Amino acid sequence: MAGSLAKEPRRGGQAEPTFGVYEGLRIGRPQGGEESEVPATGRSLAGRGLEFLAAWWPVAAFLAPVLVAQTLWSARYDVTGHAANHLQSATPVFPMVFLCAVLVWALPGRGRRDLLLWLLLGAAIASCLLVLAGNVQVIDAIGRATWSDTQASQLGPARPGFASGHDLAARGAWGAVLATMLAAGLLWRRSLVSARVAAAAVAVSLAVPYFLAPGAGVVVLAVSAAVARARRDLRLARSSSPSPS
């Protein structure tokens, strides 16, 4: 058996090395498919990263100008004490604009074309603008005074615009809550979100104090729509990719 595997000796009396059944193998050398496997994986990861950026860049495009606008607006005021609290309370319009933009962008085409949804989201943004205006009115009424919350409750009502600013901000906040709840119901009726998502949006809008984050349920709606869009994109990518041979 061994003799049959050995090759004929060369001229000169030296026999060629015999490897038996292992002849032709090179230890340490990768097989044919292994050399291209790692680069292909690298290209696949890079391609996925580019696809993600191409699909989701609008989110960053919505966020950047909102952050810039909020930073520039807040920098106009140098306040402390109770006035600083109202400065913070005046800012819900900025995240509301961003979240409404993400929500509309993430919805399928029939959702983006829904005029009633645009009106409700516009009402939520307009209500948050009233929140901003009311809080600015309170800040202007306080002026340079560094009141604590207790001092503001005692001394503030005597200043023009203090009480009316609080009332305006409260009305705007409840308007944002109502508009968000109606938007959740509309999206559910249009079968654009599930009943569970709509109920969660309503619950969050009511549970989160209106003077801290009016219409907070829009976060639930925007996240749900974004997740649904990501799933649609994934299904589309799988259906368009070539099947393995």
Per-residue pLDDT of the chain (245 residues; tens, 9 = 90+): 544 444 454 554 555 554 444 444 444 444 544 444 445 454 576 766 677 677 789 999 999 999 999 999 999 999 999 999 999 999 999 999 999 999 999 999 999 999 999 999 999 999 999 999 999 999 999 998 999 999 998 999 999 999 999 999 999 999 999 999 999 999 999 999 999 999 999 999 999 999 999 999 999 999 999 999 988 877 776 776 555 54
Say if residues 176 and 127 touch (Cβ distance below 8 Å).
yes
For the record, the structure tokens of 92 come out as 């819900």
pLDDT of amino acid 235: 77
Burial of 110-124, coded b for 16+ CB within 10 Å and e otherwise, reads: ebeebeebeebbebb
pLDDT of amino acid 3: 47
Q: Is residue 54 in some structural domain?
A: no
- Whole-structure pTM value: 0.77
Q: Is residue 55 in some structural domain?
A: no
The domain in which residue 232 lies consists of 60-238
Q: Is residue 52 in some structural domain?
A: no
Q: Is residue 81 in some structural domain?
A: yes
Q: Is residue 110 in some structural domain?
A: yes
Q: What is the rounded radius of gyration, in angstroms, for the C-alpha atoms of the chain?
A: 32
The candidate with the shortest Cα–Cα distance to 197, out of 172, 219, 165, 175, is: 219
Q: Is residue 43 in some structural domain?
A: no
**Could you tell me which residues come within 8 angstroms of residue 179 by beta carbon, excluding any fewer than 6 positions away?**
120, 121, 123, 124, 127, 215
Q: Is residue 11 in some structural domain?
A: no
Query: How many separate domains does the chain show?
Result: 1
pLDDT of amino acid 157: 94
Distance CA 200, CA 96 (A): 17
pLDDT of amino acid 178: 98
